[in-house]
Chains A and B, each alone.
Chain A
Amino acid sequence: MPMTDNNPPSAVTRRLGLAMLASSLIAGGARDAAAGAQGQMNIAVHISLSPTWFDPSETNSLITPYLLMYGMHDAMMKPMREASPGLSLAESYTMSPDGLTHTFVLRPGLTFHNGDPLTSDDVKFTYERYKGTSAALLRERIASLETPDPRRIVIKLKEVWPDFLLFYTGATGANWIVPRKYIEKVGDAGFRKAPVGAGPYKFVSYDAGLELVLEAFEPYWRKSPSIKRIVMKVVPDEATRLIALKRGEFDFAYSIRGELAAEVQHTPGLSLKVASDGATYWMYFPEQWDAASPWSNPKVRRAAALALDYVAINNALSLGLSRVTSNFIPRHLAFYWPSPPPVYDPAQAVKLLAEAGYPGGFDAGSYHCDSSYANLGEAAVNGLAAVGIKAQLRPLERAAFDKGFTDKRYKKGIIQGSSAAFGNAATRLAVWVVQGGPYVYGSYPEIDALYPLQANELDVGKRTAILHKMQQTIYEKDMFVPLWQLGFINAVGPRVAESGIGLIKGFVYTGPYEDLTLKEK
């Protein structure tokens, strides 16, 4: 049974383990040891590079650290081009029939950048040292991590946990392997100053927050990188990034949006690269559980869903490069339910409002949103106004907005939510839908009742059915009105043959680094 989009990580069985073993042997056979890395790729980065991202033990609930981790480090399993998660440092993975024992076998002859062999002891050390996101959860659920020989790692769980692989290999840095000997020698601070990993590129130099230089690690197991040197420079201003790209100072620039992205389209030699697995954005109606509010009427929520011209908004704000969707769960996450495409029908929206008792519309109050995406909020507010639902845009800087959201201060009006957090459909539902979630203002008993049924379900088919049912119910109730799944737009210069953007499902940055190529002169 191959690992596919419809066959999420927790579906791994012994048969799948064998299939993965076979695929890893094929990948190993494809290793290109002869090619010598050449040239330099200069990347303009939109965000300050933090040395905490050099150390997988520090990964928090942000995707950004993986921007560097995919270059300098490697994991036993991680989201790959071929599969998500796919085998990387591990050549095989198997799960016992009872779901309690998970065995990984490392590839032979692996080394870190400093030449130290990479063994199961390093895997154990990495896990024990890990203190980033969900560290407590992993420790709570994992009974033991044993290393019977230098290549074998056996993880035993206290109880069945269908999302073990998701958390261990996808949503945390706990299986991104760091070298025990080196860290014990130089300490944590020393490691952050001069990190040593097992990834396709090794660390050369770092100027705090400004520049990072990486060099190809030619013995990398998957294949030798083709570009000798990668230089990442932080250029915070978007317009400056674009100008520098146009001048050839960079080969690649992260995050070029709106009008600047349109400028890229009109510039010969430059092109846009979109990672379409970004965050989803949606409208949420915190008053839908208040019987006195118009939002408690399903017809009103449906009217709001019908009021927005999703395609036009997408075209206007992101050159049509985002995805319109009617499911607030991103398409790339496991257990995603493929909802019907969203419909724009303002006439029907007006009719539904009239049927609900609001023939002239109503005043919905505030539309709360993160100021970074106030433009999307503005488009939504305009769309709602066109059918008679009046709302005032209240953009707030991200941290303040998020705090207001989780503190449940936006009890009235509309909230524009979004999330790019790791996980699968179940983790998203826990946070945004099910009673007790940090962003949940109210819940529906029929949805809440389904959630625990899937939590310990090892049968993927049954679990998928439950999670699909939950998403379908959410869709039918118009609990959320999704606006889009954001396309993360980047610009690429004429020297780049492969930018790595969009190659790994669910990953918005460049990767795998060893696949990056420059055009031959």
Chain B
Amino acid sequence: MRHYIAKRVGYSVLSLLLLSLTIFLFIRLTGDPASLLTEPGASAADVAAIQHKFGLDRPVWVQYGLFMFNLLRGDLGDSFYYQTPVLELYQSRLPHSLLLGVVAMGFSLVLGIPTGILAAIRVGRFWDSAGKLFALLGLSLPSFLVGLLLILFFSVYLEWLPSSGSGTFWHLLMPAFALGWYFAAAHMRLTRSSMLEVLGSEYVKLARLKGLPEALVIGKHAFKNALIPVLTLAGINLIQMINVAVVVETVFAWPGIGRLLYEGVTFRDFPVVQGVVILGGSMIVVVNLLIDIVYALVDPRIRLEQ
């Protein structure tokens, strides 16, 4: 088991190293931030002064070395745009994103799981088709469109909800729904397929043969087992909701990490983009590592196969 965990940790560290290198190089391919921090027509001296100030006039490998050195000390650098430590910016936005992510996840599970179950137990019939349509719409409608439609309907026509910003429960509803909508469709699809697999299994057939009530078969025996992959996916999705809700947070002016990432990209704020991607990536890597370890603990075949 120790060997298995060490190997997994090694893979995780390697993944993070590759992630840091990739984001560091790719963000630099997008161009020079100095040109966004000056008006077109600014003098070459002013542009050069900005490049010098942010260390962009140094060789890339030197910049990467410094970046990694600081990263290992827990320093993600200072934002070019905000002139504030990236970690501080991230921490200030994290509570908003956590709140949005958790409520959006609630929406997605409340919508996705019952719909998925209904589609599975009524497979090939109206509710299944309705579920498929729901999944199709959820996965294909872009979240900015969903967001704008929600604003149009609930803010402009009905005047029930504030159009943007944060601060009250009412501010949270539309962005959480817009964000949860896509994931609800994903959760619905997975629940449906997982339920179908479980409902076709021998032990469910046996339960039915034993004459157990259908509600008990589905609720106790099938649903509990079908839920495992859904919850695993939900865990990973929650991290995505927290870190990359770029469009929803921008449309609703929600002060979260996704918007911070949007700002970082817009202003070519390299430290912000690097910081958000690395922190988000780290969360995913750590969660995956934990899942791997828990799976191995629960199912010895996994660690033995390794």
Kindly state the separation between the CA atoms of A48 and B164 in the bound complex, as whole angstroms: 15
Check if A158 is an interface residue, CB within 8 A of chain B: no
Kindly state the separation between the CA atoms of A29 and B255 in the bound complex, as whole angstroms: 45
Check if A360 is an interface residue, CB within 8 A of chain B: no
Check if B94 is an interface residue, CB within 8 A of chain A: no
Binary contact track B146-180/A, C-beta < 8 Å → 1, others 0: 00100110011001001111000000000000000
Kindly state the separation between the CA atoms of A134 and B41 in the bound complex, as whole angstroms: 13
A233 in contact with B40 (CB, 8 Å): no
Q: What chain B residues lie within 8 Å of A147 (beta carbons)? A: none
Check if A420 is an interface residue, CB within 8 A of chain B: yes
B262 in contact with A402 (CB, 8 Å): no
B83 in contact with A50 (CB, 8 Å): yes
> Which of chain B's residues has its CB closest to A418's CB?
B40
Kindly state the separation between the CA atoms of A439 and B49 in the bound complex, as whole angstroms: 18
Contact stretch, chosen from A58-66, A81-89, A441-449: A58-66
B46 in contact with A134 (CB, 8 Å): yes
Binary contact track A417-449/B, C-beta < 8 Å → 1, others 0: 111111000001001100000110000000000
Residue picked from B84, B250, B260, B267, most chain A C-beta under 10 Å: B84
A133 in contact with B42 (CB, 8 Å): yes
- Least Cβ–Cβ distance between B99 and chain A, in angstroms: 15
From known contacts A207-B92, A398-B35, infer whether A51 and B163 are also in contact, taking CB-CB under 8 Å: no
Q: What chain B residues lie within 8 Å of A420 (beta carbons)? A: 39-41
Contact of A209 among B45, B49, B152, B263 (CB under 8 A): B263
Q: What chain A residues lie within 8 Å of B45 (beta carbons)? A: 134, 136-137
Check if B30 is an interface residue, CB within 8 A of chain A: yes
Contact of B40 among A237, A247, A419 (CB under 8 A): A419
Contact of B36 among A237, A239, A249, A399 (CB under 8 A): A399
Q: What chain A residues lie within 8 Å of B43 (beta carbons)? A: 61, 133-134, 431, 438
> Which of chain B's residues has its CB closest to A244's CB?
B163
Q: What chain A residues lie within 8 Å of B151 (beta carbons)? A: 239-240, 243
B253 in contact with A249 (CB, 8 Å): no
Kindly state the separation between the CA atoms of A402 and B165 in the bound complex, as whole angstroms: 33
A209 in contact with B260 (CB, 8 Å): yes
A419 in contact with B163 (CB, 8 Å): no
> Which of chain A's residues has its CB closest to B268's CB?
A399
From known contacts A61-B42, A239-B148, infer whether A249 and B163 are also in contact, taking CB-CB under 8 Å: yes
Check if B98 is an interface residue, CB within 8 A of chain A: no
Check if B259 is an interface residue, CB within 8 A of chain A: yes
From known contacts A233-B253, A403-B31, infer whether A421 and B164 are also in contact, taking CB-CB under 8 Å: no
Contact of B164 among A50, A249, A422 (CB under 8 A): A249
- Least Cβ–Cβ distance between B14 and chain A, in angstroms: 32
- Least Cβ–Cβ distance between B180 and chain A, in angstroms: 19
Check if B121 is an interface residue, CB within 8 A of chain A: no
B263 in contact with A48 (CB, 8 Å): yes
Residue picked from A51, A208, A405, A419, most chain B C-beta under 10 Å: A208
Kindly state the separation between the CA atoms of A431 and B42 in the bound complex, as whole angstroms: 8
Q: What chain B residues lie within 8 Å of A370 (beta carbons)? A: 40
Check if A518 is an interface residue, CB within 8 A of chain B: no
- Beta-carbon contacts under 8 Å, A192-231 to B: 192, 207-210
Q: What chain A residues lie within 8 Å of B263 (beta carbons)? A: 48, 209, 236
> Which of chain A's residues has its CB closest to B37's CB?
A60
Check if A262 is an interface residue, CB within 8 A of chain B: no
Check if B33 is an interface residue, CB within 8 A of chain A: yes
Check if B252 is an interface residue, CB within 8 A of chain A: yes
Q: What chain A residues lie within 8 Å of B164 (beta carbons)? A: 235, 237, 240, 243-244, 249
Q: What chain B residues lie within 8 Å of A249 (beta carbons)? A: 162-165
Kindly state the separation between the CA atoms of A247 and B152 in the bound complex, as whole angstroms: 11
B39 in contact with A52 (CB, 8 Å): no
> Which of chain A's residues has its CB closest to B162's CB?
A249
Binary contact track A133-147/B, C-beta < 8 Å → 1, others 0: 111110000000000
> Which of chain A's residues has its CB closest to B84's CB?
A208
> Which of chain A's residues has its CB closest to B33's CB?
A399
A62 in contact with B83 (CB, 8 Å): no
> Which of chain A's residues has its CB closest to B78's CB?
A189
Check if A400 is an interface residue, CB within 8 A of chain B: yes
Interface size on B, residues (CB 8 A): 47
- Beta-carbon contacts under 8 Å, A62-93 to B: 62-63
Kindly state the separation between the CA atoms of A132 and B92 in the bound complex, as whole angstroms: 28
Q: What chain A residues lie within 8 Å of B30 (beta carbons)? A: 397, 399-400
Kindly state the separation between the CA atoms of A230 and B273 in the bound complex, as whole angstroms: 31
Kindly state the separation between the CA atoms of A66 and B39 in the bound complex, as whole angstroms: 13
Q: What chain B residues lie within 8 Å of A481 (beta carbons)? A: none
- Beta-carbon contacts under 8 Å, B219-272 to A: 250-253, 255, 259-260, 262-263, 266-268
Contact of B41 among A243, A400, A439 (CB under 8 A): A439
Kindly state the separation between the CA atoms of A249 and B166 in the bound complex, as whole angstroms: 12
From known contacts A208-B89, A403-B31, infer whether A243 and B156 are also in contact, taking CB-CB under 8 Å: yes
A50 in contact with B82 (CB, 8 Å): yes
Check if A234 is an interface residue, CB within 8 A of chain B: yes
From known contacts A208-B82, A402-B35, infer whether A240 and B252 are also in contact, taking CB-CB under 8 Å: yes
Q: What chain A residues lie within 8 Å of B35 (beta carbons)? A: 398-399, 402-403, 406
Check if B44 is an interface residue, CB within 8 A of chain A: yes
Q: What chain B residues lie within 8 Å of A113 (beta carbons)? A: none
Check if A301 is an interface residue, CB within 8 A of chain B: no
Q: What chain B residues lie within 8 Å of A244 (beta carbons)? A: 162-165
Contact of A210 among B31, B255, B267 (CB under 8 A): B255
B81 in contact with A240 (CB, 8 Å): no
Q: What chain B residues lie within 8 Å of A432 (beta carbons)? A: 41
Check if A124 is an interface residue, CB within 8 A of chain B: no
> Which of chain A's residues has its CB closest to B165's CB?
A233
Check if A246 is an interface residue, CB within 8 A of chain B: yes
- Beta-carbon contacts under 8 Å, B27-61 to A: 30-33, 35-46, 49-50
Kindly state the separation between the CA atoms of A247 and B159 in the bound complex, as whole angstroms: 8
Contact of B163 among A243, A400, A402, A417 (CB under 8 A): A243
A60 in contact with B38 (CB, 8 Å): yes
Q: What chain A residues lie within 8 Å of B37 (beta carbons)? A: 60, 62
Kindly state the separation between the CA atoms of A129 and B294 in the bound complex, as whole angstroms: 57
> Which of chain A's residues has its CB closest to B256's CB?
A210
B41 in contact with A236 (CB, 8 Å): no
Kindly state the separation between the CA atoms of A58 and B53 in the bound complex, as whole angstroms: 11
Q: What chain B residues lie within 8 Å of A237 (beta carbons)? A: 164, 250-251, 253
Q: What chain B residues lie within 8 Å of A52 (beta carbons)? A: 81-83
Q: What chain A residues lie within 8 Å of B162 (beta carbons)? A: 244, 247, 249
Residue picked from B41, B44, B255, most chain A C-beta under 10 Å: B41
Q: What chain B residues lie within 8 Å of A419 (beta carbons)? A: 39-41
Kindly state the separation between the CA atoms of A204 and B83 in the bound complex, as whole angstroms: 19
Interface residues of A (CB under 8 A from B): 48, 50-52, 58, 60-63, 133-137, 192, 207-210, 233-237, 239-240, 243-244, 246-247, 249, 279, 370, 397-400, 402-403, 405-406, 417-422, 428, 431-432, 438-439
A48-B267, A236-B259 are known contacts; what are 18 more A-B pairs with Cβ within 8 Å? A52-B83, A62-B37, A133-B42, A133-B43, A134-B45, A192-B83, A208-B82, A208-B84, A209-B89, A234-B253, A239-B151, A240-B148, A243-B151, A243-B155, A279-B40, A397-B30, A400-B30, A420-B41
6 shortest interchain CB distances as A-B pairs:
A419-B41, A61-B42, A61-B38, A421-B39, A399-B31, A421-B41
10 A-B pairs, CB-CB below 8 angstroms?
A61-B42, A134-B43, A208-B89, A235-B253, A240-B251, A244-B163, A247-B162, A405-B40, A419-B41, A428-B41
